[in-house]
Amino acid sequence: MVVLLLVCSLQSYINAGAWDKALTYVDTIHTDTGVFYRAEIYFYMGEVDSAAKYYASVPAQSMFFNDAWTKLMVIRSYPREAVSMYGKVRWELRRGNYRGALKGYDNLVKVFPMMEPQVLLDKAHIYYKLRKWKDAETCYKTLMDRFVDDWRVEVALYELAILYERMKLKDKAIATYEEFLMKYPTSIYAPLVRERWENLTKLQ
């Protein structure tokens, strides 16, 4: 409970862009939660090397590990300047400024075209939250069609199937889950995909 209260206060500093206060406050959280949020602060500030250091320190058993691993993959995949700009766009997204984030993503791709796969995935997430299902579907499909060998294609296919479920397109969801299991049978998502597929097929 104490850690939860500390995190709530910390998040208010992060959302306000009060970085000095956030960095001071995060020192009071002596768990993997503190390590992760220190990485987040540096990431949003555009201090890429410091962010990478702390993301890499998040233990595998942490609830934040997947998020930390994903951010670390982005940091290691692109030039420092691109990631710095990306982090600032993600800060707008964190604050719920979807319009500003979408504009920021468009500007990011203009300056750093190599960021497009990550931008497409992030934009799909925004459109999903805004319940703009068709726009989300377009982003996922564009990512899968244009960047076949990118590691995010696996994530996009999984999330596309979930999107079809959300759109109540059961046949499309089933077919997409089956495609996923055929292409990525050993994926970390495979158990979840199999469970969702089984639940849908039981209803037929």
- 200 band by pLDDT with thresholds 50, 70 and 90: very high
CATH number of the domain where residue 10 is located: 1.25.40
Read off the pLDDT of residues 134-146 as tens digits, 9 standing for 90 and up: 999 999 999 999 9
* Assigned token pair, 62: 């942490």
What's the domain range around 59?
1-77
Asked whether residue 123 is domain-assigned, the answer is no
Q: Does 51 fall in a domain?
A: yes
Tokens describing residue 198: 């089984």
For residue range 14-59, what is the model confidence (pLDDT) as tens digits?
999 999 999 998 888 888 999 999 999 999 999 999 999 999 999 9
Average pLDDT, the chain: 93
In a domain, 21, yes or no: yes
pLDDT at residue 19 in the model: 92
Whether 180 is covered by a domain: the verdict is no
Q: How far apart are CA 66 and CA 189, in angstroms?
A: 12
Neighbours of 96 (CB within 10 A): 10
* Inside any domain, residue 99: no
Q: Looking up tokens 């990478």, which residue turns up?
A: 52
Per-position b or e across 28-50, b if 16+ CB within 10 A of its CB: ebeebbbbbbbbbbbbbbbbbee
What gap in Å lies between CA 144 and CA 147, rounded to an integer?
6
Of 126, 104, 125, the closest CA to residue 115 belongs to: 104
The pLDDT value recorded for residue 154 is: 96
Instruction: Map tokens 């990485």 to a residue.
Output: 39
Nearest to 122 by CA among 147, 83, 152: 152
Number of domains making up the chain: 1
Residue 11 has pLDDT above 60, yes or no: yes
Contact 62, 32 (CB under 8 A): yes
Token readout for 166 is: 């959300």
DSSP H helices in the chain: 2-16, 19-26, 32-45, 48-55, 65-77, 80-94, 98-111, 116-129, 133-146, 152-166, 170-183, 190-202
Look at residue 185 and tell me if it is in a domain.
no
Task: Establish if 203 belongs to a structural domain.
Answer: no
Q: State pLDDT tens for residues 84-113.
A: 999 999 999 999 999 999 999 999 999 999
